[in-house]
Structure 1
Amino acid sequence: MNFFRRILKSKFGGVFAAVFLGLIALAFVSGDLTSGGMNLFGPSSAEVAKIGGRTITVNDVQTRTQMVFERMRNENPALTMDQFLAEGGLRNVASEMIAMQSLIAYGEKHGMQISKALIDAEIASNPAFVDATGNFSETVFRQMLAQQGIAEKDLREDIIASIVQRQMLAPVSAGARTPASMVPPYAAMLIEERSGEMISIPSAAFAPSTPPGDAELQAYYRSNPGQFTVPEQRKLRYATVNLSRFEAQAAPTEEELAQAYKARSQEFQARQTRDVSQLILATENAARDAAAKAKAGTPLADVARGLGLAATRMDGQDEKALASQTTPEIAKAVYAAAKDAVIGPVRSPLGWAVVRVEDVRAVPGKTLDQARPELTAEIRKSKEQQLFSAFLNDIDGKIGEGLSFAELAKAHNLTMVETPLVLKDGTALRDPAFKADATLAALLDQGFSMSADDDAQVVSVKPDEEAAILAVEDVVAEGPPPFNEVKSAVQVAWGLSKGAERARQLATQLAAELGKGADPAAVLAKLGLAQQAERQTLSVRRADINNREDGRIPPPLEALFTIKVGATRLLPLENNQGFSVVRLDKITPNDPSQVPQLLASTRAGLSNVLGGEYARQFMVAVQKELGVQRNESALAAVEKALRSANGGGE
């Protein structure tokens, strides 16, 4: 009966978060949204929508929806296409595609043009396309597009949509203000307490006691593939290489130590540093008064505090470092002064500076032998990384020449590791005891993005420390496992499906009686459910469920806010597990004026909602002006194709 409690933490109880095409996430890039010719008779069977002279085809929507689904499944490997579609995934993707293409068409109609230079700037600023130096790399850009299977023109189309969205919708929604009279009622709704009860009736209590024959079970299995679908599984092979492999080769020579010591000779010479405090003021007179107080013995930090300011402390500064943080003139004056001296006022780029020498430190020099430990560590690390990089480059080259994984492992004495079949999160369904270690966890993303026939790849495990040669050994596509492997699960699901009808009938009767004000215990006894049903008290505020970390509102709690006091709501549980009846018993109001921060946050939240509503209404007007046409039958065809391609039910 614990599954009744788990419904309050359901993975799929929330609202699907629509994906805006303008996010320019590489995995969301669509096909060519501008293809297709004129059709005087409305959308064709191959078109999901027609926006002026633009069309969105079945292939466009299917491709992008599949990509969005894959992106979400990366975060939740247990997600199936049936669940994704049930949450409105397809319609949200299609609606956003139509909205973005409508904005582009509307902008073109009214003379808005997005220059190539602006698109290039967006690409150059995308962190996905930078190299190790942090700068945009044309090579990385091309490699990333090739790896993701994305055409450059499609990426540019999405960037145009993103820019148009910012330029059109941001001004529409900006500056929305909430009337003062709207705030208290909405704030009160957030903190009112709603209490009631959930009574759950399990299907298992009414499942047939006689097991079905194999023929009936197999028929149920074939008719409900989505219930038994398992996400894609992969068997991976890898061999790791880390810096420790090169420790012996990386030992520094005496010559290397001497050269490193000479190159850093100034650092190892005896020298002085200064600890200083600095106060910047806007006028010379104010700085002169502050300097006088400091010279009279008041700590500069206290002088600053008396003016409502803060002094900046800079410790361990040599003259060059201090000059970079102040000015060369200030640094020179500080180094000419003794401890406790006050310098200034001195003109600086930020105003008038007053500086106090807090301490003068003598830093002794180091001989080569004294500096040997730190130089040895630095040289060893540098050489290890050079050898590490050269080794990986050599491996990558050998892979390009056609050497197999096994040949590489043998030639370089590498230990190959082979995983069992695992999901994207590292779980092995056929070996529950298997746990992915940190190395495998770092390889899973790349392992699941490679094709089964790809050559082995060099993949980073820990940047500049550890890498792995990775290959895909086997791929089991998403779908139901063979019947014999899940026969026991099919039998349980069949029994629940049979018991669900009786559970629904009893739950419907229970909801009707409770809605008339009947005592729950009496009704349960009357229906013979005193032992089978589970009762659970519910009490919640809207603010509490709105602040859930996962953003998903459990259906029983949501039901409390959609019915009036004394009313009931019948809710199905997942996977034919039964039905719940939720009754709202009481609403306890609270005074929002006692929570000033709530009023402020509610006002801000309503302003955002109003801004979003202005943007939505603008989009409605845009699509009306353009005469956007939608083809529901084509969208249904996309849904059917997605289910078929991903092992779901019809």
Structure 2
Amino acid sequence: MITALRRLFSSTVGKFIALAFVGLIGVLFALGDVTGNASFGGLGGANVAKVGDTEIGVGELRQKVQQAYDQARQQQPGLTRQAFVESGALDQLLDQLVNDAAVRQYARDIGFGVSKRLIDGQIADAFAGVSGTFDQKRYEAYLADNGVSEAQLRREVETLLLTQQLAAPIGNLPNVSPGLARPYAVLPLEQRRGQAVYIPSSTFAPAGDPGDAVLKTFLAQNAAKFTVPERRVLQYALFDRAAVPIPAVTDAEVAAAYKANAAQYTAAETRRIAQVIAPDQATANSIAAKVRGGTPLAAAAQSAGLSASTTGELTQSAYAATSSDAVAKAAFAAKRGDLVGPTQAGLGWIVARVESVTAKPARTLAQATPELRAELGKNKANEAIVDYYNKVQDAVNGGASIEEIAADRKLKVEETPALLPSGRAPGQPAFALAPELAPMIAQAFQGGAEGEAAIATLVENEKFAIVSVKSVIEAAPPPFAQIRGDLLAEWRFAEGQKVARAKARAIVKAVEGGKSFAEAIAAAGPNIGTVQTIGGRRGDLARSGQRVPPELALLFSMAANSVKTLEIPGNRGWMVISLAQVNRPDPKSVNDQIVASVARPLAGAMGSELVGQLIAEAKRRVGVTINKGLVEQLRKELTGNAPVNE
């Protein structure tokens, strides 16, 4: 299955399906289904959608959202569920479930099918062990870890295979005709010219204070904007090698190590030997004669079409292993500078010269003791920190609290203020943890429930932290009094934004009524920004790799001689864009090479479009009904905006 998924992702159809079936393909079944009749609070077992004869329960959708949110938090620990849902996740996951059910049912209706044997093969491939055969334990562990039943996983695999059968023939377009590609090839050469005016909200922001009641209502309506992400109060205790008692190295241990490694301390001799290996005795004799006549060994070997090499420092036994016992015996009987051979060996005839002789005297126990004591001490230190760590880990696994572990180990427990995943404390701006504690914070935000201890590695094999979440402060806006000043400023911008929007719409209406852009701006009243000319060539917009300005992106999506409004995020104002000129070269003027370069990527885009149309047709054929009221009720509950008894 993994191989199939990789092939699918590399194709046009795969890219589209990765968007349309986020949970199915994008995360390899990580968003496991739950039963459609699962209950959720006051929503009970109602269905949020019906796709043909398939019902999608509210519990199934909510579980999908929760699983996707948990995954997203691994990448963004400070992400709130409210922000996650409001970013469109709920709608996207509902679309995924609907598309999944529609494609599966449509494929069956028109005669496509997937055999049990094929599904078995895909699962066996995905859960193959090191030996390449199906690993039952790995399979069962996956199901348990992800809360997915075998039937649910098999349904997901079936959907994937049916989607491949349906979409691959139309999604994998190899190319498009030059005639179809030519109009698109001219687009990068298109030039546009227009005008833009910016209407800042600050110009029209009221100066007065509306009072607490209005600001509290504004806060309720914009809670997400002022919400501080989840914070956690941490308790931690540090330990490193300095905190670990290390047993002293005894004389008996030194003596035992000396005895166990006696060969290292006996007298020994090593030699460096230059040599050449000839294929036959005659060649070897010729080389040896030249060397004895004063020719360097390397030059003599080169004259015979061979090359000489020099060994490292070797003992006699080590040299014998690379040549032969006879060659080694002769080389170690000779003096420095002597030529040895030719002597026959397994690879041919060896001519050798002794380059250097190094005598290593024997070392007594007393002489070797400092070295042995240092090495044994280092080993004991490593064993001690590992043993200490393992015992702490055993205590953590056994459910001991951080206070219990610290008391047992005589460690100091520290406590942080309420922290964000970044390590910043919103309530204490001056607070700062040491940078080396960053792994501890990451561990705490990925860990389990309050009070559960864990170990974080700060410096590999050197320093560690026992960390526990003392308390979790859920994401919420700060107290009203604390942020009243920020609320007032944002309320003023929001009120000014309403005026700016009205003026932007008035300008558009005036232009559509026949006035020029300049006349419409003048009629909108004072305090409107200066008109600026904008435009350029389409192909140059993103050439620098930077983000395309929103006003230019809008300009290049407008119809000729049209006028549009553009909201500036953050209640900072509105823009009005007028497109006055579009210059597009004649498609016939584009050379064939440019057309060919456009045809292939255009085939990918068209393949994606066709797959999208296929999914839309599948939903139309089987019939889709969405319970919008129930979806909105679920949205409110997930974001915490629903009344208590709703």
- TM interval, short-chain normalised: 0.5 to 0.7
Partner of 1:187: 185
The answer on whether the counterparts of 2:119 and 2:154 sit within 8 Å (CA) in structure 1 is no
Q: Equivalences for 1:309-458 in 2 at 5 Å?
A: 386-434=383-431, 437-458=434-455
Separation of aligned partners in 2, 1:471 and 1:494: 40
Q: Equivalences for 1:55-74 in 2 at 5 Å?
A: 55-72=55-72, 74=74
The answer on whether the counterparts of 2:455 and 2:465 sit within 8 Å (CA) in structure 1 is yes
Separation of aligned partners in 2, 1:272 and 1:35: 82
The one-character-per-residue Cα deviations of 1:19-58 (angstroms, maximum 9, x if unpaired) are 612236389514325658xxxxxxx982123345432211
Separation of aligned partners in 2, 1:574 and 1:494: 14
The one-letter code matched in structure 1 to 2:565 is: L
Q: CA deviation at 1:211?
A: 0.8
SS of match in other structure, 1:212: coil
The one-character-per-residue Cα deviations of 1:327-384 (angstroms, maximum 9, x if unpaired) are xxxx99xxx9xxxxxxxxxxxxxxxxxxxxxxx9999999999999999999888766
The question of 1:617 aligning with 2:613 is answered yes
Q: CA deviation at 1:68?
A: 2.7
Q: CA deviation at 1:316?
A: 10
Separation of aligned partners in 1, 2:185 and 2:356: 63
The answer on whether the counterparts of 1:145 and 1:152 sit within 8 Å (CA) in structure 2 is yes
Query: Which of 625, 635, 639 pairs up with 1:643?
Result: 639
The question of 1:630 aligning with 2:626 is answered yes
The unaligned stretches of length 5 or more in structure 1 are 1-15, 37-43, 276-294, 301-314, 319-330, 337-359
The unaligned stretches of length 5 or more in structure 2 are 1-17, 39-43, 277-301, 314-321, 328-353
Query: Which of 25, 28, 37 pairs up with 1:23?
Result: 25
After TM superposition, the structure 1 stretch with the greater mean CA deviation from structure 2, 19-28 or 169-178, is: 19-28
Q: Equivalences for 1:235-634 in 2 at 5 Å?
A: 235-242=233-240, 254=254, 386-434=383-431, 437-461=434-458, 466-512=463-509, 518=516, 520=518, 527-530=524-527, 533=529, 538-539=534-535, 542=538, 555-587=550-582, 589=584, 602-634=598-630
The one-letter code matched in structure 2 to 1:97 is: L
After TM superposition, the structure 1 stretch with the greater mean CA deviation from structure 2, 485-494 or 449-458, is: 449-458
Q: CA deviation at 1:76?
A: 4.9
The answer on whether the counterparts of 1:199 and 1:582 sit within 8 Å (CA) in structure 2 is yes
SS of match in other structure, 1:237: strand
Separation of aligned partners in 2, 1:56 and 1:95: 11
SS of match in other structure, 2:418: coil
Partner of 1:230: 228
Cα 1:163–1:474 change in 2 (3 A) is farther
Separation of aligned partners in 2, 1:479 and 1:172: 48
SS of match in other structure, 1:115: helix
After TM superposition, the structure 1 stretch with the greater mean CA deviation from structure 2, 378-387 or 107-116, is: 378-387
Q: CA deviation at 1:441?
A: 3.2
SS of match in other structure, 2:502: helix
The answer on whether the counterparts of 2:174 and 2:600 sit within 8 Å (CA) in structure 1 is no
The one-letter code matched in structure 1 to 2:235 is: R
Q: CA deviation at 1:411?
A: 3.0
The one-letter code matched in structure 2 to 1:631 is: N
Cα 1:626–1:594 change in 2 (3 A) is closer
The one-character-per-residue Cα deviations of 1:536-582 (angstroms, maximum 9, x if unpaired) are 664465556667979x8664333112213443211223343322222
The one-letter code matched in structure 1 to 2:96 is: E
SS of match in other structure, 1:31: coil
Sequence identity, in percent? 26
The one-letter code matched in structure 1 to 2:59 is: N
SS of match in other structure, 1:220: helix
Q: CA deviation at 1:405?
A: 0.6
Q: CA deviation at 1:173?
A: 1.9
The one-letter code matched in structure 2 to 1:571 is: L
The answer on whether the counterparts of 1:424 and 1:444 sit within 8 Å (CA) in structure 2 is yes
Q: CA deviation at 1:174?
A: 2.4
Separation of aligned partners in 2, 1:161 and 1:191: 43
The answer on whether the counterparts of 1:29 and 1:155 sit within 8 Å (CA) in structure 2 is no
Partner of 1:95: 95
Separation of aligned partners in 1, 2:459 and 2:531: 51
Partner of 2:54: 54
Cα 1:400–1:84 change in 2 (3 A) is closer
Partner of 2:113: 111
Q: CA deviation at 1:473?
A: 1.8
The one-character-per-residue Cα deviations of 1:192-250 (angstroms, maximum 9, x if unpaired) are 34454443222222222221222222233234323322222222233344567669669
The answer on whether the counterparts of 1:103 and 1:622 sit within 8 Å (CA) in structure 2 is yes
| Bigger Rg, which one | 2
The answer on whether the counterparts of 1:271 and 1:362 sit within 8 Å (CA) in structure 2 is yes
The answer on whether the counterparts of 1:257 and 1:376 sit within 8 Å (CA) in structure 2 is no
The one-character-per-residue Cα deviations of 1:123-150 (angstroms, maximum 9, x if unpaired) are 457xxxx9xx999998888778777766
Separation of aligned partners in 2, 1:185 and 1:374: 80
The one-letter code matched in structure 1 to 2:491 is: W
Separation of aligned partners in 2, 1:600 and 1:260: 73
Separation of aligned partners in 1, 2:188 and 2:357: 63
Cα 1:406–1:619 change in 2 (3 A) is same
